[in-house]
Structure 1
Amino acid sequence: MTSPHTRNHLGQKTAHRARPIADHLAAVIELLRPLGTPSRTEVLPLSRALGRGLVHDVVAPVSLPPFANSQMDGYAIRCSDVPDGGAELRVAAPVPAGASAAALGPGMAVPIMTGAMIPAGADAVVPIERAVPDRFLPPGEGSFVKLPAAVPGTFVRVAGSDIAEGERALAAGTFLGPAQLGLLAALGIPEVTVYRSVKVLLVATGDEVVEPGQALSAGKIYDANGTLLETAMTQAGLQVLRAGISTDNPEALQNLLQAEGVAADLIVTTGGVSKGAYEVVRQAMAGQPVEFLHVAMQPGGPQGIGTFDGIPFLGFPGNPVSCLVSFEMFLRPALAVLLGAPAPRLPVRARLRHGLTSPEHKHQVRRGSLQPDGTVQLEGGESSHLMHALAGSNTLVHVPEGVSVLSAGDEVEVWML
C-alpha cells in the first residue's frame, strides 16, 4: 500500500497527484480481464441471451431477405408491359405470402401480398390503391386491371438487400438486445455463445448502518448503498450475492469475505476506504495486494482496487451517490469493454440550464434531468449524500478535469441513466 504523500526538496510533505479517471478505468479493466476468457462462456438459446455479450463474430448463413419479395399488397408486373400512360393487364393467379410463385407471363399482372415472393419476370409492384379497380380481381380470361407505369425495383425488396449471405451480421463483443437477437432469429440461428454473468459479492460496511425496516436508534442511518448497488448491478446483468452489512470489525469483515467470496467472481464493498481512523475495509485488506488511492473525481474520489485471496476486489466509497458514480464510471464500462455487456451508457450533448462551479483538478459528475428542449437541469448540489436529488435525475452530467466554471447555455456531455 502506498503512502498518500511524498516529500519535496525541502523535506515538506506534498500530496500525490490523484489518479486520472482514464488510468483508473484502465486498471479496473486489467483487474477484470480474466472474466473475459473463453472458459467463462456458455451457449444459450436466444430467449435466454438477452443482455449478454457476444463472444464470436456471427456470419450470416443466409441472405435477408432470402428472396425478392413485395413491399406492398398490389400487383406484380413487368415494367416493359406498361407504357407511360398505363395499360390493362390480364390478372394471373395470386401469390400469397409463403407460397412459391410461378413465372410471370407477358401482359399479365399478379396479385401479390406483402412479403410474398416476386415471380420470375416481374420487376415492380404497383400498390393496390393505384389499380383500377382498386381491389383484387379473380384470375381468368375476363379479368383485367388497369395499372400505371412503374420504374423497375418499385416496392420490391431485393434478396440480400438487408444483409447478404457470408457478411458479418454481428461483431464479437456486441451487446445482445432485442434487435440483435431478432436479427439472429431472422437468420435462422437458434442459439449463441455468450459470456457468463459475473457473480458479485456485495458488502456494505459501517457500524452506523442498519437495514431498512429496523428501528433507527441515535447515530444510525439506513443502508441505501446495498439496495442502490444491488439493483444497479442486477439491471446491468450481474448476479449479486448480498452478504448483509459488515460492522467496523476488520477481522469480522475478513471472515465474511473468506466465507462468501469463494462463490464470487468479484468482491465489491462500500465504505471504509478513506483515510479516517476506522476505515474497516482498509484494515481488513492488510496483507492483501490491494491499493487504496484517490481518483481525480468528485464524488467518488477514494477507491480501493486489488485482489482478496485471489478474487478481484473493488472498494467503493460509502456515500450513496459516490458508490453509484463509482459503479457507472469504472465497473460498468470495464465490463462493457471486456464482455460486451452491460451496454455502455449513451452519451449526448446538452446545454446547462444553470451555471456551475467545479474543482479544477477533478472530473466532476453531477446529477441532472434532461429536458424536452435539450437543456439539462442540475438536480441538487455536488454533495455525495443527496439521494433525493439522485432519484429525481435521469442523467449524469460530466464536467471534465481542468474546467472550473460553466455558465448557463454552455454545452456538456451527459450520460442517460
Structure 2
Amino acid sequence: MNRKVIKRVHSKTISMLVIVYNKILRVSVAVNCDNDIFITVEQALIRMTNAVRSIAQVENVSLEAALARPLAETICSPINVPPYDNSAMDGYALNLSTESTNTRYQVVSQILAGRPCDIKIKSGECARIMTGGKIPAGCNAVIMQENVRQIGDSHIELTKAVQLGDNIRKCGDDIGEGQTIFTLGRKLSAIDIGCLASLGLTHVRVFKRLTIGIFTTGDELAQPGEKLQAGQIYDSNRPMLKALLNQAGFDVVDAGVIQDEKEAIKSRIKKLSETCDAIITCGGVSVGVADYTGKAFSELGEIDFWKVAMKPGKPFAFGKINHQHKTVILFGLPGNPVSSAVTFEILTLPMLRLMSGQQAQSTNTLYLPTNQTIKKRPGRRDYQRAIIQRNEYGTPVAVTPFAKQSSGVLSELAHADCLIVLEKEQDGVEVDQYVLVLPVAK
C-alpha cells in the first residue's frame, strides 16, 4: 500500500473514531443525566466546543478602541521597522576601515533623530549622532560617547576598540516588511497596540464584542445597600460575574434578580435572547424543589448536560435555544459563589472566547509540593483554593491549601493566587507530594 493510500486510510480512521467518540459522549450524557451521574470536565469541554462556534461580526476600529479585542484579520507588516539603519545610543557614527589602525576621527556633521545627514562620511571621518539618528552613508559602526576623548573642536580619539556594526540597529531588525505580526483571533494587548502603531496603522479589523445576558435567581437574595431581612443574604454572584465578563471584554445586559418562579425565569430568558449572544444564569440548576432554572432551560430549548464531576461546581448546565434566526447559548452556573466563579473560569469563559473569535489560550500550570495534607474523596475533580509559597528570589517552591474549601467561602478565593487541581480518581495528598497548580489571574 503506497503512502498516499495509507494517509487516506489513516485520515478516515481518525474521522470515524472522532464520530464514534462523539456518539459515545452523547449517549453517556443522556444516560448520566437520567441516572444522576455526572460527565467529566473533559467531556463537558468537548461537548461545549462541538456545540458553539465563532459568531462575532467584524468591524473596523481605531487603535484606541482595539484594546482587548480579538483580531478579525492577520496583520502583516507593510514596512520595515525600523525603516532605516539607526543608532542604538548617543555617540559617533564612524567610517571604520578594517585595514586601518586609526583611532582619531574628524567630526564633520551632527545627526539628530529625525534630522538625517545628507553627506557621505569618508574614511577617517565621523558624525556626532543621537539615539535613533539615521546612520549616514559611509558609516558602519557607532561608538558610545563615553568611549571617546575630545581633541579640540573637531576631532575625537577612540579610547576603546569598536567593531563593524557595533551599536547599529539595522533596517527591519524589529519587524521585516511582509512579516506576519499577529494572526487572526489574537486578543490585542496594550503592547500589541504599540506594535501596530509602529507599522503606521490607525485602524484594524476586529470582532465585535459579544453581548452576554446575566441574571441570578433566589428568593433569599437581597441587593447590596438594602437591609437584610430574616433568611436573606446579599447577591454577590451577579456583581462578580458582571465584573468578570467586563474584564474579559464582553458587553453585559444585567437582568437583575428573579424570584424562584419558573414562568418568570422563562420570560426573562426569552427577553434576553432577543438581544444577547449568550445567557448566564446563576442558581436554580440543582435538584432542589425550588430549582426552576434547569426546568426553564428544558422547556425553552435543549440541555446538553447539567452535572459535571467537579468540585466546586457540580450543578452546571449547558444548552441552547433557537430565537428567530439565531442560536443563543445558555450557561447555568451554580448558586454558591465559589462554584459560580470556578465554573465560569473553567467551563464558561473558554466557550465565550471561542464564540467571540479569540484564539484558544494556553493554560500556565505548575507542579509543586504541598506543605499540608489534603483530604479528598474520589469521584470528582477538585479545584482547591491555595497560596503559592515563594523563596527569597520569588521562585515558587510549594503550595499551601486553605483550610476552608466550602463553596460558600468566597473570601478565601479572593485571597487565593492559585487552584490545586486534584483528579477525580485521587483519594488524598500527603505532605511534600507534588500536585498540579493552576495560577489564578488577578
Residue type of the partner of 1:113?
Answer: M
Change (3 A) 1:120 1:416: farther
Residue type of the partner of 2:374?
Answer: L
* Cα-to-partner distance string for 1:235-289 (whole Å, 9 max, x where unaligned): 1111111111111110111112222331211111011111222211022223221
CA contact (8 A) 1:81 1:106 kept: no
What is the distance in 1 between the residues matched to 2:408 and 2:222?
A: 16
1:91 corresponding residue in structure 2: 107
Change (3 A) 1:387 1:153: same
Q: Which of 131, 142, 164 is 2:176 aligned to? A: 164
2:337 corresponding residue in structure 1: 320
Residue type of the partner of 1:277?
Answer: V
Matched, 1:127 2:144: yes
Moved more, 50-59 or 251-260: 251-260
Moved more, 403-412 or 151-160: 403-412
What is the distance in 1 between the residues matched to 2:387 and 2:100?
A: 59
Map 1:245-394; keep pairs closer than 5 Å. 245-287=257-299, 288-310=301-323, 311-338=328-355, 339-340=357-358, 346-373=364-391, 374=396, 375-394=398-417
Deviation at 1:323, TM superposition (A): 0.8
Q: TM-score, normalised by structure 2?
A: 0.84
1:51 corresponding residue in structure 2: 68
Change (3 A) 1:207 1:344: farther
What is the distance in 2 between the residues matched to 1:173 and 1:349?
A: 30
Q: Which runs of 5+ in 1 are unaligned?
A: 7-13
Change (3 A) 1:368 1:342: farther
What is the distance in 2 between the residues matched to 1:294 and 1:243?
A: 25
Q: TM-score, normalised by structure 1?
A: 0.89
Aligned residues with identical type, % of pairs? 28
2:42 corresponding residue in structure 1: 22
Q: What do you get for the CA RMSD once the two structures are aligned?
A: 2.3
Deviation at 1:211, TM superposition (A): 1.2
What is the distance in 2 between the residues matched to 1:403 and 1:133?
A: 74
Residue type of the partner of 2:58?
Answer: T
2:222 corresponding residue in structure 1: 210
Moved more, 331-340 or 208-217: 331-340
What is the distance in 1 between the residues matched to 2:318 and 2:220?
A: 24
> 2:92 aligns to what SS in structure 1?
strand
> 2:271 aligns to what SS in structure 1?
helix
What is the distance in 2 between the residues matched to 1:26 and 1:55?
A: 25
> 2:143 aligns to what SS in structure 1?
strand
1:414 corresponding residue in structure 2: 438
What is the distance in 2 between the residues matched to 1:259 and 1:89?
A: 79
* Cα-to-partner distance string for 1:63-110 (whole Å, 9 max, x where unaligned): 1111111101001112317856x6111011111101223321111011
> 2:274 aligns to what SS in structure 1?
helix
Matched, 1:200 2:220: no
CA contact (8 A) 2:184 2:359 kept: no
Residue type of the partner of 2:316?
Answer: Q
> 1:285 aligns to what SS in structure 2?
helix
Deviation at 1:403, TM superposition (A): 2.9
Residue type of the partner of 1:381?
Answer: K
Change (3 A) 1:406 1:152: farther
The alignment of Structure 1 onto Structure 2 pairs a total of residues equal to 399
What is the distance in 1 between the residues matched to 2:333 and 2:116?
A: 62
What is the distance in 2 between the residues matched to 1:286 and 1:293?
A: 11
* Cα-to-partner distance string for 1:368-387 (whole Å, 9 max, x where unaligned): 22333313332343221111
Residue type of the partner of 1:174?
Answer: R
CA contact (8 A) 1:60 1:166 kept: yes
Matched, 1:229 2:247: no
* Cα-to-partner distance string for 1:19-60 (whole Å, 9 max, x where unaligned): 221221233334431424xxx121110111101111111001
> 1:336 aligns to what SS in structure 2?
helix
Deviation at 1:411, TM superposition (A): 4.0
Map 1:64-75; keep pairs closer than 5 Å. 64-75=81-92
Deviation at 1:314, TM superposition (A): 0.8
What is the distance in 1 between the residues matched to 2:157 and 2:233?
A: 80
Q: Which runs of 5+ in 2 are unaligned?
A: 1-28
> 2:97 aligns to what SS in structure 1?
helix
Change (3 A) 1:320 1:82: farther
